[in-house]
Amino acid sequence: MTPTQQMVNRQICWLIAALAIAAGLTVIEGLPFLYTNARAPINWTEPELDDWRIEVQPRSIIPHVELKYHANRTNSEPSDSDAEFLERLRALKRNRTSARMLWYDATAGDGLTYPPFVDKALKLFNLKQVAFEIENSVMSKVSCTACKAGAGLLQHYIKSGKTEAELMKMIAQYCTNLSIQSPRVCEGVAQLFGSEVIYVLQRVNLGPDELCSFIIGDGCGDVYNPYHEWEVIFPPVPKPPRLSELPMPMEAAPFFKVLHISDTHYDPHYVEGANADCNEPLCCRLSSGRAANPNAAAGKWGDYRKCDTPKRTVDNMLAHIAETHKDIDYILWTGDLPPHDVWNQTKQENLEIIKETVKQMTEKFPGIPIFPALGNHESAPVNSFPPPYVNQVDISINWLYDELDVQWRRWLPQSVSHTVRRGAFYSVLVRPGFRIISLNMNYCNNKNWWLLLNSTDPATELQWFIYELQSAEFSNEKVHVIGHIPPGHSDCLKVWSRNFYKIISRYESTITAQFYGHTHFDEFEMFYDPHDLTHPNSIAYIGPSVSPYYDLNPGYRIYYVDGDHDMTTRLVIDHESWIMNLKEANLYGYPIWYKLYTARAAYNMKALRPSDWDKLLNELTDNQELFEMYYKNYWKNSPARPTCDAECKKRMLCDCKSGRSHDRRHFCADVESKIDEGSSKSWKSWFYRGLTNSVEETTPQPEIENSNWEPLDVVYGTFG
């Protein structure tokens, strides 16, 4: 199994794991804990209807970026924006016949249900497996059973009238007594997350089966849940005919040079020499204790263990980029700025980190436009992003979005303020005919418990996204989409991802690239026509993390994007991944950043169109040597990377092919069968060769004079 993509995003699952064990203990100790099929009525509070109207909001229609001239590069002069643009928007509004999406389905439910899991109680004590699955975002039936048990127990205690204080104390005690985490982590998790989880569970009309299918996804079955089934509405405009094949970008044409930074996870409390091998979600801090031996001490520039990025490493990387890449045209910054100490974060500290990193980026890259996207760690607690209808002062997300609007205003036009403050998403016309749309992917985050109240297009983001794309299509604009959580990742809610996938398919002629972070690895995701899986229609680039968390080298990406000229495609022409060897930096006392690979040269690709990436995916399936190169780059050439067997290979390539989350069976069957077939052939070849050697050892060999015969161990090499 590969290390965690977002280990600490699962803190809330520890809470459930503690409750799961509590359920098991309750059964074993014979305490009264009865599950019946009776459903008690629940007071379901309908969210306040939202009167926000997409079509009346201001839009960015003036090119925001003035390109600089660089040696050996040319860019065309800015052209006038489309004079008919506003009229087309008005026409779209007049022709709109579909009704708005409803926020709330008033169909009444019956109440709670509790599953009969007494016979499974003993399985819950496999804490090591549950903890591993939680940390690695790879959920199985064991984690599903634990989730159902914990959710059922918590709902039982809520129904029985226990107070919030009693529930949080119980959670912390079970977590500590069962050594799920250290006492201070257990206490912090209970205090930070308990109140939110209890608030939500008091108001939902879902049982443990539906709850855990929502949170875990595939690992917990595809449970039908009418409260979380919805569809976006498309305007009555026919989809343009698709091209049989996208044109290749012109050689030697003007281009944009784009920097992509993601998952900085700057830790202001990192201490060189502190314990890097602690038993908590984040180490390398003074609070982690003293290192037991020199090997357990945190390195000067970071550490491969569960440690985030020290300030000196962020400073060094930004200084290196500013010196090495002086001709950057703009920057994509896809979120996750705070560290992984999610059990003791505060809103104020997270805001300070946002302000400090924004100031740092502004100083290092003066005059260079930066287009940010919001990560899942910017909120406190982590993953907590209430939609606009949750507007109580003490739980509203306005504290974050209002500050983001202030900080991001350094780089973004004033016209985006209304959508940033509403939902931390925006659309900017970068150049004539070229737009960037930044999405808040936390509204697809299945660890965002607020979505249990109502997951129907939170903040109306996807409906707004369609409106922006349709307007761009009318204006012959090409669009790049940026965000944090990749839409095909297991952390993305299935129903949200399914709707997003449809949007990408509808506007495949408009969207020419997507850019995300979150996983910390160097990878990509494919999108296909839902009605024709042989037709790839979009590519999502998933940039490497700056943070080494964990077992990784720090890294960043450089993209070359088709620029301003008459035949521009706005496709990515090529990309480079740059890394710093953390082991050598700590050994020699100074980091050296270098280019790890260039996509087209490393993978022998003639272009980076969706069809080219699909071809590469097939080659990675069949060509083991090529896959091993991809695997090295995926791990940013980390010396701590594990070996990758056939199951690992299937999982990785399936991740590449699945731009739609929790739906692997539709995309991965051919990949898995090819890998299984290749593994079978390799095994048969090994077995046959071994059998042949055995026969030759027992069969008298004729004497051969003047031959080139050599022993088999010389020709083939010895085993081992």
Please write the tens of the pLDDT for every residue from 452-474.
999 999 999 999 999 999 999 99
Q: Is residue 353 part of a domain?
A: yes
CB 366 within 8 A of CB 34: no
Q: Give the pair of three-digit tokens for residue 96.
A: 């709109």
- If asked whether residues 592 and 460 sit together in one domain, one would say yes
Question: Can you give the pLDDT at residue 274?
Answer: 97
* pLDDT-derived band at 226, boundaries 50, 70, 90: confident
Query: Distance between CA 218 and CA 353 in Å, rounded?
Result: 35
234-249: pLDDT as tens digits: 999 999 999 888 999 9
CATH of the domain at 444: 3.60.21
Determine phi and psi for 127, rounding to 5 degrees: -65, -35
Query: Distance between CA 386 and CA 458 in Å, rounded?
Result: 9
HSE, CB side, 13 Å, CA atoms: give it for residue 387: 24
Query: Distance between CA 337 and CA 512 in Å, rounded?
Result: 27
Query: Distance between CA 542 and CA 281 in Å, rounded?
Result: 24
Cβ neighbours, 10 Å, residue 454: 22
- If asked whether residues 364 and 459 sit together in one domain, one would say yes
Question: Can you give the pLDDT at residue 499?
Answer: 98
Determine phi and psi for 404, rounding to 5 degrees: -60, -40
Q: Give the pair of three-digit tokens for residue 45.
A: 């509070």
**Host domain of residue 265:** 260-270+308-677
More confident of the two residues 211 and 78:
211
- If asked whether residues 169 and 265 sit together in one domain, one would say no
- If asked whether residues 471 and 610 sit together in one domain, one would say yes
Cβ neighbours, 10 Å, residue 9: 24
| Span between the terminal Cα atoms of the chain, in Å | 23
Helical residues (DSSP H) of 203-346, grouped into ranges: 208-216, 311-324
Question: Can you give the pLDDT at residue 94?
Answer: 52
518 labelled binding-site residue: yes
- If asked whether residues 198 and 264 sit together in one domain, one would say no
Question: Can you give the pLDDT at residue 378?
Answer: 97
- If asked whether residues 521 and 460 sit together in one domain, one would say yes
Query: Distance between CA 275 and CA 294 in Å, rounded?
Result: 9
268-284: pLDDT as tens digits: 999 999 999 998 999 99
Q: Is residue 67 part of a domain?
A: no
Q: Give the pair of three-digit tokens for residue 50.
A: 């939202």
574 labelled binding-site residue: no
340 labelled binding-site residue: no
376 labelled binding-site residue: yes
CA dihedral 375, 378, 383, 388 (to 10 degrees): -90
CB 574 within 8 A of CB 561: no
Instruction: Reduce the DSSP state of residue 364 to 3 states and report it.
Output: helix
Question: Can you give the pLDDT at residue 29?
Answer: 38
263 labelled binding-site residue: yes
Strand pairing partners for 255?
562
Structural domain count of the chain: 2
Amino acid (1-letter code) at residue 58: P
274-311: pLDDT as tens digits: 999 998 999 999 999 999 999 999 999 999 999 999 99
pLDDT at 1 over 80: no
pLDDT at 143 over 80: no
- If asked whether residues 265 and 183 sit together in one domain, one would say no
Q: Is residue 81 part of a domain?
A: no
Q: Is residue 231 part of a domain?
A: no
- If asked whether residues 334 and 474 sit together in one domain, one would say yes
Closest to 79 (Cα-Cα) out of 410, 476, 413: 476
CB 33 within 8 A of CB 89: no
Find the farthest-apart pair of alpha carbons in the chain and give their distance in angstroms, rounded: 94
666 labelled binding-site residue: no
Q: Is residue 288 part of a domain?
A: no
Identity of the highest mean pLDDT range in 90-99, 165-174, 240-249, 554-563:
554-563
* pLDDT-derived band at 700, boundaries 50, 70, 90: very low
- If asked whether residues 326 and 216 sit together in one domain, one would say no
20-79: pLDDT as tens digits: 544 444 433 333 322 333 333 333 344 555 778 887 788 887 887 776 777 656 444 444
Q: Is residue 37 part of a domain?
A: no
339-351: pLDDT as tens digits: 999 999 999 999 9
Query: Distance between CA 18 and CA 190 in Å, rounded?
Result: 10
Amino acid (1-letter code) at residue 168: M
* pLDDT-derived band at 433, boundaries 50, 70, 90: very high
User: Poorest-confidence range of 179-183, 220-224, 312-316?
Assistant: 220-224
How would you label 89-121 residue by residue, b for 16+ Cβ within 10 Å and e otherwise? beebeeeeeeeeeebbeeeebeebbbbebeebb
Strand pairing partners for 431?
434
Name the one residue in this structure whose structure tokens are 């009318």: 474
CB 16 within 8 A of CB 146: yes
- If asked whether residues 657 and 512 sit together in one domain, one would say yes
Q: Is residue 277 part of a domain?
A: no
pLDDT at 3 over 80: no
Query: Distance between CA 637 and CA 669 in Å, rounded?
Result: 29
Mean pLDDT (whole number) for 504-533: 97
Query: Distance between CA 305 and CA 308 in Å, rounded?
Result: 9
More confident of the two residues 531 and 77:
531
Closest to 281 (Cα-Cα) out of 145, 381, 202: 381
Q: Give the pair of three-digit tokens for residue 213.
A: 């299918």
CB 298 within 8 A of CB 273: yes
Mean pLDDT of the chain: 82
Query: Distance between CA 352 and CA 332 in Å, rounded?
Result: 21
CB 332 within 8 A of CB 260: yes
- If asked whether residues 264 and 191 sit together in one domain, one would say no
Q: Is residue 283 part of a domain?
A: no
Distances (CA, A) of 374 to 93, 197, 311, 345, 482: 30, 22, 21, 17, 10
CB 454 within 8 A of CB 103: yes
Query: Distance between CA 83 and CA 314 in Å, rounded?
Result: 44
Instruction: Reduce the DSSP state of residue 288 to 3 states and report it.
Output: helix
Question: Can you give the pLDDT at residue 680?
Answer: 60
Residues in the chain: 720
Strand pairing partners for 266?
309
484 labelled binding-site residue: yes
Query: Distance between CA 249 and CA 333 in Å, rounded?
Result: 25
Cβ neighbours, 10 Å, residue 86: 13
- If asked whether residues 416 and 492 sit together in one domain, one would say yes
**Can you point out the beta strands (E) in 81-143?**
none
